[in-house]
Amino acid sequence: MAHNSNCLLNYLAILLLLSLLQSSQAHRRTEDGVKTEVFLSPKFVLEPGSVSNKYYYGINFPRGHIAIKSFNAEVVDEEGNAVPLHETYLHHWVLLRYYQQKGVDVRKYHGDLGFHRSDHITIKNSGVCDSGLSQYFGLGSETRRTATDVPDPYGIEVGNPVDIPAGYEEGWVLNVHAIDTRGAEDKLGCTECRCHLYNVTIDEYGRVLPPDYNGGLKCCYDEMRCKVKEGFEGVKRSLYLRYTVKYVDWDSSIVPVKIYILDVTDIWTKADESRGLRERHHCLVEYEVESCPAGSANSGCTHTKALTTSLPTGGDVIYGVGHQHAGGTGTTLYGEGGRVICSSNPTYGKGNEPGNEAGYIVGMSTCYPLPGTVKIYAGEALTLVSNYSSTQGHTGAHTSMMLSNIIWPIVLFGVAIIVVVVIVFKGETGQGEGYEAML
Ligand SMILES: *[C@@H]1O[C@H](CO)[C@@H](O)[C@H](O)[C@H]1NC(C)=O
Ligand SMILES: *[C@@H]1O[C@H](CO)[C@@H](O)[C@H](O)[C@H]1NC(C)=O
- Give the mean pLDDT of 312-321: 85
Tell me if 328 CB under 6 Å of ligand 2: no
Q: What is the pLDDT of residue 21?
A: 31
| Range of lowest pLDDT (47-61, 191-205, 266-280, 283-297) | 283-297
| CA 326/CA 318 separation, integer angstroms | 27
Ligand 2 centroid distance, CA of 91 (Å): 25
Taking the C-alpha atoms of residue 264 and residue 285, their distance in angstroms, rounded to an integer, is 8
Highest mean pLDDT among 201-205, 268-272, 296-300: 201-205
pLDDT classification of 177: cutoffs 50, 70, 90: very high
**Which of 227, 238, 188, 219 shows the shortest CA–CA distance to 50?**
227
Ligand nearest the Cα of residue 49 is 1
At residue 435, φ and ψ (nearest 5 deg) are -105, 170
| C-alpha to C-alpha distance for 43 and 385, rounded to whole angstroms | 37
Give the separation between CA 382 and CA 332, rounded to whole angstroms.
10
As a whole number of angstroms, the distance between CA 89 and CA 410 comes to: 15
77-96 pLDDT, tens digit per residue, is 999 999 999 999 999 999 99
- The yes-or-no verdict on residue 63 having pLDDT over 90 is yes
* Residue nearest atom 4 in ligand 2 by C-alpha distance: 302
Closest ligand 2 atom to the C-alpha of 300?
A: 5
**Ligand nearest to C-alpha 345:** 2
Separation between Cα atoms, residue 148 and residue 138, nearest integer Å: 10
The DSSP result for 146-195, as a single string, is: ---PPPTTEEEEE--TTTSPTTEEEEEEEEEEEEE-TTBSSHHHHHTTBH
Chain segment 118-158, per-residue pLDDT in tens: 788 888 888 778 877 888 888 889 999 999 998 888 899 99
Report, as an integer, the average pLDDT of 49-64: 95
Which among 37, 58, 247, 42 has a CA at the least distance from the CA of 171? 58
- Of 191-195, 247-251, 422-426, which range is least confident? 422-426
Residue 300: predicted pLDDT: 64
- The mean pLDDT value of the chain amounts to 79
Look at 65 and 311; give whichever has higher pLDDT.
65
- Asked if 424 contacts 231 with a C-beta cutoff of 8 angstroms, the reply is no
For the four alpha carbons of 76, 79, 84 and 86, in that order, the dihedral sign comes to negative
* Whether the CB of 310 sits within 6 Å of ligand 2: no
Ligand 2, closest atom to CA 385?
Answer: 13
**27 band by pLDDT with thresholds 50, 70 and 90:** low
Q: Is the pLDDT of residue 415 over 50?
A: no
Say how many C-beta atoms besides its own lie within 10 A of residue 290's C-beta: 14
For residue 411, the model assigns a pLDDT of: 27
- Backbone angle region of 427, left / alpha / beta, with phi > 0 → left and psi within -120 to 50 → alpha: left
Q: State how far the Cα of 6 lies from the Cα of 18, in Å rounded to an integer.
A: 19
44, 283, 289 from 240: Cα distances, Å? 6, 29, 32
pLDDT value at 185 more than 80: yes
pLDDT per residue as tens digits for the range 213-235: 888 888 999 999 999 999 999 99
* Complete domains list, the chain, with CATH: 29-247 (no CATH), 255-418 (2.60.120)
* pTM, entire model: 0.83
Question: What residue owns the CA closest to ligand 2's atom 14?
Answer: 330
Going from the C-alpha of 224 to that of each of 110, 193, 238, the distances in angstroms are 16, 10, 17
More confident residue, 273 or 297: 273
Contact 219, 195 (CB under 8 A): yes
Percent of all residues in the chain with a pLDDT value above 90, rounded to a whole number: 43
Smallest-distance ligand from the CA of 198: 1
Highest mean pLDDT among 5-19, 24-38, 41-55, 189-203: 41-55
